Amino acid sequence: MQVTVVQGDITVQDVDAVVNAANRRMRGGGGVDGAIHAAGGPEVLEDCRRRFPDGLATGAAGWTTAGRMPARWVIHVVGPNWNRGERDRSLLVSCYTGALAVADELGARSVAFPLVSAGVYGWPREDAIRAAIDTLRATPTGVEEARIVAYGRSALDEVASALGD
């Protein structure tokens, strides 16, 4: 699988699936989650309510429609919240392995990922980048491209540098 990085808005990526860094309730929120719900429209929230009436556990993954976004699916993952003491790295890693497993179930060949937990959840960015890249590279999958979408220039530069390691 090819792991790439771009700077931009995850909601406009021309991929089969986008990964949402969701909260446990699965009802929308801030950051990537809010952007995906806003861009996808009410269809995403309706599908979340129908498919995940009790939400998702930290580290878990599941899918919904992408609604009005160019992607076909949203793969929702619930990353650990560093700021609330959730510091088990295996939960962060499971977001990436779980997303790839869901992508394989769906037949998705291209998937756009945010840096899960590296925003408002406060996971140290350098470790979040390393967890993402190492897990994406090491996990057997039918996905052909895992695209990390960096929101800002500094994140883009850090991911690009780590990909070169």
Instruction: Tokens 């967890």: give the residue.
Output: 131
CB-facing half-sphere around the CA of 44: CA atoms within 13 A: 30
Query: Are 117 and 85 a contacting pair, CB within 8 Å?
Result: no
Task: Tell me how far apart the alpha carbons of residues 130 and 126 are, in angstroms, rounded to a whole number.
Answer: 6
61-65 and 145-150 beta bridge pairing: unpaired
Catalytic residue among 9, 16, 33, 134: 33
Residue 33 annotated as catalytic: yes
Q: What residues have CB less than 8 Å from 27, skipping those under 6 apart?
A: 45, 48, 49, 55
Q: Which residues are catalytic?
A: 33
